[in-house]
Amino acid sequence: MFNLILNKYQYLFAVVPFVGIVVFGYFIDIFPKGSIVYQFIDKALNLIAEKNLDELLKKNGFSKTSVFAYQLLRIIFGIIGIFAGIVLIDDAPAKKIVICIIIGIVFYKIIYIFLLLKEKNRIAIMKEKLPYAIKTISYLAYVYPISNAIERAIDIVPKEYKYDLEILYKEISDDPITKKPYINFVNRYNGKLKELEPCLDLLYRMGQSGGSKAKTLLANLNETISDDINRVRAEKNRKFNSKVGWLGFIPVAFLVIVLIYLLLVMTTSVSFVD
């Protein structure tokens, strides 16, 4: 009887819990923050209710897509996964529904994983371009004061840094004495660009000092950045060369495939002789 009901309403029994799980994670804040329920839901459903979606969408070229539209798209995608599972899987109804719910959650998560990969790629590109951005500022720092150098660098640095440099310049203009603008600049990357901190520390110290001390600091900065640029370039070349190196084994792959096929044909009892 129970199996009959499950079989008849399998789509409903699969879709409703799925939607419940993905939507419920967003209502976690109704529970008190320190409570056991909150902690459990936070840990268990943290996989499903991502908190940084808004930021990820903005930073990865989806600024025009609202979070709501994005979530709706994902839920629809998950439901499509559930429907596909129900059609393709042939098993006991209860087991089938559980598997389909898991498939739905996987389909729901896949789009977020692509977004995470895109963010990871963006951070990798930013790490690669960071030494070049700091190099531009250091060149300008030879002839202008630090704040002017940062202002002029806005038009020249890689586009990934333009927006954040504009904010840095504005904050320095409002508060030229403290180190806060530089700390804010580093914090905007959530600790993912650790190499930024010592460079900005040097820039702050150069801005506060003058004369020969500033020149010494600038020379130190240039030496550090030149080493970083060499390292980034060597790493880029190494990655490309290793990719090309792997492509070079395609003839070996062909040879192995063909030889395995011929050996299998010769060693099996089935004869292909005409």
Partner 1 sequence: MINEIVLISSIIIFILVFVLLNLGFGRGKKRKVPNIKKRKSLYRTLDVKTVIYLILAASAVTFFINTISYSAITTSMVFLCAIGLAPFVLSNNLKRMHQEDVFQDVMLYCQNMGMLLKQYHNVFMSLNIVRGDLKTELKTDIESLMKIINDGEEIDNVKVAMSILEDNYEYTCIKNLDLIMLHMLFENAKIDDVLLETFENDVEELSKDVKANKSARSAMRIQYIGISVGCILIYKFFLGTMDSQLTANLNTITFNVVNSVFIFGVLLSLFFIDRYFNAHITKE
Binding residues (CB under 8 A) for partner 1: these are: 132, 135-136, 139-140, 142-143, 156, 215, 219, 222, 226, 229-230, 233-234, 237, 240-241, 243-245, 247-252, 254-255, 258-259, 261-262, 265-266, 271-274
Residue 117 makes CB contacts below 8 A (sequence gap 6+) with none
Considering the complex, state which of residue 190 and residue 241 has its C-beta at the smaller distance from partner 1.
Answer: 241
Supply the minimum distance, in Å, between the C-beta of residue 164 and partner 1.
19
> How is residue 147 written in tokens?
């704040």
Considering the complex, state which of residue 114 and residue 249 has its C-beta at the smaller distance from partner 1.
Answer: 249
Supply the minimum distance, in Å, between the C-beta of residue 26 and partner 1.
45
Reported for 124-129, long-range contacts at CB under 8 A and 24+ positions apart, including other chains, are 125/160, 126/160, 126/161, 126/189, 126/193, 127/193, 127/195, 127/232, 128/232, 128/236, 129/158, 129/160, 129/161
Supply the minimum distance, in Å, between the C-beta of residue 133 and partner 1.
10
Supply the minimum distance, in Å, between the C-beta of residue 259 and partner 1.
6
Supply the minimum distance, in Å, between the C-beta of residue 193 and partner 1.
19
Considering the complex, state which of residue 125 and residue 258 has its C-beta at the smaller distance from partner 1.
Answer: 258
CB 17 within 8 A of CB 101: yes
Considering the complex, state which of residue 56 and residue 137 has its C-beta at the smaller distance from partner 1.
Answer: 137
Considering the complex, state which of residue 213 and residue 233 has its C-beta at the smaller distance from partner 1.
Answer: 233
Distance CA 195, CA 75 (A): 38
Is 31 strand, coil or helix?
Answer: coil
How crowded is the C-beta side of 232, counted as CA atoms within 13 Å? 17
